[in-house]
Amino acid sequence: MSIVINLDVMMAKRKIGLTELAREVDITMANLSILKNNKAKAVRFTTLNAICKALDCQPGDLLEYVPEEKEVQAGKEQM
């Protein structure tokens, strides 16, 4: 997928853990983990809004477009 979720990066910048953020956003740890690990197929705007509010950031701080070509190269480098 061409959209990468940089939730882990923003959480590190804000020094907030998964448990604390899940509590603040009122989302299950499992669903937050899916977002954090780029396994999500979709995200509700209400969830995105709550995460941005909790982390004091913009949606663009969390979401990034990565062209398919670069994504394939990044995957090969990880092997």
pLDDT tens for the chain, 79 residues long, are 689 999 999 999 999 999 999 999 999 999 999 999 999 999 999 999 999 999 999 999 999 999 877 555 555 555 5
pTM to 2 decimal places? 0.81
- 5 SS3 class: strand
Residue with tokens 């950031």: 57
What fold is seen in the domain 3-78? 434 Repressor (Amino-terminal Domain) (1.10.260)
pLDDT of 2 reads: 87
Q: How far apart are CA 50 and CA 24, in angstroms?
A: 8
| Nearest C-alpha neighbor of 9 from the set 44, 60, 45 | 60
| Residues contacting 40, CB < 8 A, separation 6+ | 5, 34
Q: How far apart are CA 14 and CA 66, in angstroms?
A: 23
